[in-house]
Amino acid sequence: MSDLVLIERNAYDSNGVVKLTLNRPEAFNALSEAMLDALGRALQEIAASDARVVVLAGAGRAFCAGHDLKEMRAEPALDYYRDLFARCSRLMLAIQRMPQPVIARVHGVATAAGCQLVAMCDLAVASSDARFAVSGVNLGLFCATPSVALSRNVSRKAAFEMLVTGEFIDAETARERGLVNRVASPDTLDDAVRTLAVTIAAKPREAVAAGKGLFYRQLEGGIEAAYALASETMACNMMDDATLEGTQAFIEKRPPRWN
């Protein structure tokens, strides 16, 4: 397995709990193509195993800063962006479709596709210093695919405000809006994650797996169509001159030069 995603079995000293750690700390765990592939393979392997609970975490100072903009900007082609966002959407759907509940362990920042990851996880526990945003609009790129997951977690107006302002919300606001379940201090975050994971792992595996499948089937009738539409929207958006300039400005650490 790639060292881009670290796998810890029997995590938190509990049989059945698997911890996956995104391992690009120098890039705030940005979702490069290689990272998407590595995480997808890890999820596929665990889904077919006898694991009971998955914890998804990030190494270093952040949970996940979203897509790798340098990689995205290096190949501005519509077919490339269509493929990239389709791959990311398949990864997000894999989290929902696997039989094990997935808990996001969030610290630092969770932005854009990183915030999408939190929203797609079945449960989330955040450090009190964590911050969340879908900030693509600040670069000229509306966070279309993250909007699918975000709008299925928080109210429509709260989701749309985050999407069109790109502003951060803190952990307590995220809890109040339904994006995360629990908030803990930085030094008790792992204890809080352990408590939740171990509680679920103690339940009958078959019942939890069946319940998770039913929960989303009855709740979500059209998420595949929504992701297909959002992926196409985002791919086309990435080809806009304003977006290409916005991402290049981000890479060069300067304000975008928009007309």
- Residue 62 is part of a domain; what is its CATH number? 3.90.226.10
Predicted local confidence at residue 1, as pLDDT: 53
User: Of 60, 46, 82, nearest to 237 (Cα)?
Assistant: 82
Considering the domain boundaries, does residue 159 fall inside one?
yes
Residue 252 lies in a domain: no
Residue 242 included in any domain: no
Distance CA 149, CA 119 (A): 5
d(CA 230, CA 88): 11
As a whole number of angstroms, the distance between CA 220 and CA 75 comes to 34
Position 95 in a domain: yes
Q: Is residue 65 situated within a structural domain?
A: yes
Residue-wise pLDDT for 71-106, tens only, equals 999 988 999 999 999 999 999 999 999 999 999 999
pLDDT of residue 238: 87
Whether the Cβ atoms of residue 30 and residue 109 lie closer than 8 Å to each other: no
| Residue 233's pLDDT band (cuts 50, 70, 90) | confident
- Does residue 156 belong to any structural domain of this protein? yes
Least confidently predicted of 120-134, 175-189, 198-212, 217-231: 217-231
Question: Which amino acid, one-letter code, is at 80?
Answer: Y
* Residue 70 reports pLDDT greater than 80: yes
Q: Which of 30-34, 166-170, 173-177, 218-222 has the lowest mean pLDDT?
A: 218-222
The residue segments making up the domain with residue 176 are 5-187
User: What is the per-residue pLDDT for 30?
Assistant: 97
pLDDT at 55: 98
Give yes or no for residue 179 having a pLDDT over 90: yes
* Domain membership flag for residue 131: yes
Predicted confidence (pLDDT) at residue 215 exceeds the cutoff of 90: no
Q: How far is CA 258 from CA 34, 61, 100, 164, 167, in A?
A: 31, 31, 45, 17, 20
Q: Distance between CA 79 and CA 145 in Å, rounded? A: 16
Through-space distance between the first and last CA atoms of the chain, rounded to whole angstroms: 46
For residue 214, being part of any structural domain is answered with no
Per-chain mean pLDDT for the chain: 94
Q: Which amino acid is at 70?
A: K
**CA torsion through residues 191, 192, 196, 197, sign:** negative
> Residue 39: in which H helix or E strand, if any?
helix 33-47
Token digits for 58?
């990030």
Structural domain total, the chain: 1
Residue 225 burial (CB < 10 Å; 0-12/13-18/19+)?
exposed
Q: Pick from 122, 105, 108: which is nearest to 194 by CA?
A: 105
Shortest CA distance to 50 belongs to which of 15, 79, 77, 78?
A: 15
**In 76-92, which positions are buried (b, 16+ CB within 10 angstroms) versus exposed (e)?**
beeebbbebbbbbbebb
The dihedral sign for the CA sequence 200, 203, 204, 210? negative
Please, which pLDDT band fits residue 207 given cuts at 50, 70 and 90? confident
